[in-house]
């Protein structure tokens, strides 16, 4: 009764979670916002980010920008500086969206409007120069479109957008070569619109053109003269207080210009903006995001090349698997006759052979009898010659591996990740998860991961029962706490470093408590339910052969089958399938920082081929290991499947040194820590695929060899593993 009530509560919780997500879905062509003339358009400010660092900052946390006044605009019930509610994905990606004091009205052009005049001290000027030096850009939002900097191709045939606009610029003096920093304090906002067939106007573009104008060029109303003419920039520079510095450094021949001491001297930065509305009927509302990706159209051929490369590698491995299955395994089975030479018969013949040799040595057999028995033994030897390689392991191949109590939870967690990844790719290909659903990829992924706790518990418990485990509740706790616990601890430790930098990349404490509650109060019970069903209500997977009481001795193995070299070498093939697409994924995650990865169709195709390749490589490696009379294939198949994670992490290191320009200890720590975490998750997923494929393959060949009937899978996923094994 208690279990049924608990299950009902989880059903209601999942239903409410689904409803909350469905309300946030933003499908192009349906969630349309139409504006009438003179209707207010809210402009939201978000954050600043850079390609040179992993630290982001909320826009209103910057001391050198106009602080929010708190006034309401356009009939909004919230004043400027009000935080917009964010989903989990937006919080985790560092978004901090707030309302602003910018006043935009549909169709109303504004030549110049004063925003404020900020007074900045020496420390704030120094920080602003540092941010400009590191290439930080700011992100504003209008009608769910991020403000963009507009570019055109070299031949001026195509236009594309880059998310955000620069905080300022840096220039070097031609006299002394010293850098000079200029802050952008005037913003020309261009809103592109088109008429809607149902009436009203649709926003199809949001462009920002920043400019630096020195304070002396501003008139009494705060706006500069001739806004769009050339102006000298406003330099971020406060002359040093020479008198005070001499007091601080008495008798010194060298007096620093800036020692970081704030003496009360400020720099006034006047902020202004202009607004222009332009009708543009060449852009459809449903395709308004295409401008953010048009600079990547030239990479389509590279994506197709990645798929062709993946198919080539997979085809070559498929031929090898076909040869193993169609020629070798089938030939071995046919060569066995009835294929039913059991272990007792083999032992009897071996004992008879040994006894005959012993009697011959004692001289108890005459010559005629010797010839007759030698003929019989020779016949036995010919029969035994067929029993070689993998067929000799029928009594040991399903022996429970060492540390089986760890293997079962790892496989269960891998199935959980496999379900989550498949769901994310499917929803992305259908267009439900798209760039306009800000933070949706992470939010939905978290929901799928929590729900997949059912699958994690089921597969872990059933495999644990197959291994002969008795304490299934202990296995459940390890499955539910081990991988998520290590991940949470790593993220919490990294969060301490980011908190010290006062960055918006840091996860708020309340969000951490929410994630902890989501893990312990929802996922852990779901894992328990799945484990209970997998252990109590189902039977263990049956093996076609019985395991002997005494393990056979494993002969010396070739160097390429050792635990160290084998998985590392076999991981090259899956990595070769993936590495071209990895370049685009890394560029999106670590350089563009926009989070608008859009080629999910290509990524899904490559991921599917990757899973098939992992299965093929695992089959080849497992068969080679069995032919070498090594029955320790359980862990080896898991490591073989996940071995490409080693090469992916090596690729991360190469990408860091040759493509990224990350500076600072914290940013480098974040890069390597999150790269390691991502590679560990990837290795766990592919390792699970490799293990299940090897398990299906081994059961299949021994069942065909010793039982002569096909395996009837007990679960649809297991049937899929058989298809992968035969692909």
To the nearest whole percent, how much of the chain has pLDDT over 90?
Answer: 51
Distance between CA atoms of residues 305 and 316, nearest Å: 17
Mean of the per-residue pLDDT values of the chain: 82
pLDDT band at 276 (very low <50, low <70, confident <90, very high): very high
Residue with tokens 């040759």: 658
Range 128-138 average pLDDT: 95
β-bridge partners, 566: none
Task: Say if strands 110-120 and 137-142 run parallel, antiparallel, or are unpaired.
Answer: unpaired
Does position 107 have pLDDT exceeding 70, yes or no? yes
* Kind of pairing between the strands at 186-195 and 267-279: parallel
Q: Which two tokens stand for residue 41?
A: 């358009």
Among 368-377, 595-604, 662-671, 674-683, the range of highest mean pLDDT: 674-683
**Residues contacting 341, CB < 8 A, separation 6+:** 383, 387
Whats the size of the chain, residue-wise?
727
Distance in angstroms (rounded) separating the CA atoms of residues 719 and 700: 11
pLDDT tens, 637-663?
999 999 999 999 999 999 999 888 888
Of the candidates 674, 599, 689, 727, the one whose C-alpha atom is nearest the C-alpha of residue 419 is: 689
Highest mean pLDDT out of 370-379, 382-391, 453-462: 453-462
State pLDDT tens for residues 670-709: 999 999 999 999 999 999 999 999 999 999 888 876 654 4
At 50, the pLDDT band (50, 70, 90 cuts) reads: very high
B/e letters for 133-172, b = 16+ CB within 10 Å, e = fewer, are ebebbbbbbbbbbbbbbeeeeeeeeeebbbbbbbbbeeee
Q: What is the mean pLDDT of residues 541-568?
A: 82
Which pLDDT belongs to residue 712? Answer: 36
* CB-based contacts of 14, cutoff 8 Å, min separation 6: 451
Evaluate if residue 339 carries a pLDDT over 50: no
Burial class (CB in 10 A: 0-12, 13-18, 19+), 216: exposed
Cα distances (angstroms) measured from residue 712 to each of 468, 544, 700, 720: 21, 12, 10, 12
Distance (Å, rounded) from C-alpha 624 to C-alpha 328? 12
Give the C-alpha separation, 55 to 500, whole Å.
11
């Amino acid at each position: 009764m208690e279990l049924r009530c608990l299950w009902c509560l989880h059903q209601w919780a999942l239903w409410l979670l689904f409803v909350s997500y469905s309300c946030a879905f933003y499908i192009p062509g349906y969630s349309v916002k139409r504006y009438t003339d003179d209707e207010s358009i809210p402009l939201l400010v978000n954050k600043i980010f850079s390609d040179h660092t992993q630290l982001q900052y909320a826009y209103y946390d910057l001391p050198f920008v106009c602080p929010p006044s708190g006034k309401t605009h356009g009939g909004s019930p919230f004043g400027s500086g009000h935080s917009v509610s964010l989903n989990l994905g937006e919080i985790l990606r560092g978004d901090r969206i707030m309302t602003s004091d910018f006043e935009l009205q549909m169709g109303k052009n504004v030549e110049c409007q004063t925003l404020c005049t900020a007074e900045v001290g020496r420390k704030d000027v120094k920080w602003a120069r540092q941010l400009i030096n590191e290439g930080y850009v700011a992100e504003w939002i209008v009608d769910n479109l991020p403000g963009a900097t507009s570019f055109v191709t070299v031949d001026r045939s195509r236009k594309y957008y880059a998310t955000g606009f620069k905080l300022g610029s840096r220039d070097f003096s031609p006299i002394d070569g010293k850098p000079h920093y200029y802050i952008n304090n005037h913003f020309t906002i261009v809103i592109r619109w088109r008429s809607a067939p149902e009436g009203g106007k649709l926003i199809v573009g949001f462009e920002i053109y920043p400019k630096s104008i020195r304070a002396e060029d501003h008139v009494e109303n705060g706006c500069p003269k001739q806004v769009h003419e050339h102006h000298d920039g406003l330099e971020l520079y406060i002359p040093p207080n020479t008198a005070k510095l001499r007091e601080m450094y008495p008798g010194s021949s060298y007096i620093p210009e800036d020692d970081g001491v704030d003496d009360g001297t400020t720099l006034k930065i006047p902020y202004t903006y202009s607004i222009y509305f332009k009708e543009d009927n060449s852009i459809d509302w449903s395709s308004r995001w295409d401008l953010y990706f048009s600079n990547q159209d030239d990479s389509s051929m590279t994506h197709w090349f990645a798929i062709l490369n993946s198919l080539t590698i997979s085809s070559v491995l498929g031929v090898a698997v076909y040869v193993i299955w169609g020629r070798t395994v089938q030939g071995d089975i046919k060569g066995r006759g009835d294929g039913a030479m059991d272990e007792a018969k083999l032992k009897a013949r071996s004992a008879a052979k040994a006894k005959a040799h012993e009697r011959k040595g004692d001289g108890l057999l005459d010559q005629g009898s010797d010839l007759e028995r030698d003929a019989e033994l020779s016949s036995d030897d010919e029969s035994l010659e067929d029993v070689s390689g993998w067929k000799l392991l029928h009594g040991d191949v399903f022996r429970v591996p060492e540390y089986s109590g760890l293997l079962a939870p790892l496989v269960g967690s891998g199935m959980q990740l496999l379900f989550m990844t498949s769901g994310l790719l499917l929803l992305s290909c259908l267009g439900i998860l798209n760039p306009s659903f800000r933070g949706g990829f992470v939010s939905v992924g978290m929901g799928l991961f929590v729900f997949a706790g059912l699958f994690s518990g089921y597969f872990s418990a059933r495999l644990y029962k197959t291994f002969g485990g008795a304490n299934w509740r202990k296995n459940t706790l390890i499955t539910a706490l081990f991988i998520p616990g290590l991940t949470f601890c790593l993220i919490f430790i990294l969060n301490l470093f980011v908190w010290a930098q006062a960055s918006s990349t840091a996860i708020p404490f309340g969000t951490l408590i929410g994630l902890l509650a989501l893990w312990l109060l929802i996922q852990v019970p779901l894992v328990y339910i799945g484990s209970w069903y997998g252990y109590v209500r189902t039977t263990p997977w049956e093996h076609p052969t019985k395991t002997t009481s005494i393990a056979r001795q494993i002969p010396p193995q070739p160097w390429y089958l050792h635990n160290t070299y084998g998985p590392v070498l076999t991981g090259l093939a899956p990595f070769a399938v993936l590495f071209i697409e990895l370049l685009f994924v890394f560029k999106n995650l670590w350089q563009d920082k926009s989070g608008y990865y859009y080629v999910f169709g290509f990524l899904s195709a490559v991921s599917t081929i990757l899973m098939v390749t992992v299965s093929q490589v695992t089959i080849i490696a497992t068969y080679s290991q069995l032919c070498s009379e090594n029955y320790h294939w359980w862990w080896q198949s898991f490591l073989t499947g996940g071995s490409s994670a080693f090469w992916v992490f090596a690729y991360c290191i190469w990408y860091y040194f040759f493509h990224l320009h990350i500076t600072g200890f914290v940013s480098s720590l974040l890069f390597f820590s999150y790269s390691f975490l991502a590679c560990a998750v990837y290795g766990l997923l592919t390792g699970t695929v490799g293990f299940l494929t090897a398990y299906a393959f081994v059961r299949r060949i021994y069942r065909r060899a010793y039982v002569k009937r096909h395996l009837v899978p007990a679960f649809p996923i297991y049937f899929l593993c058989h298809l992968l094994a035969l692909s």
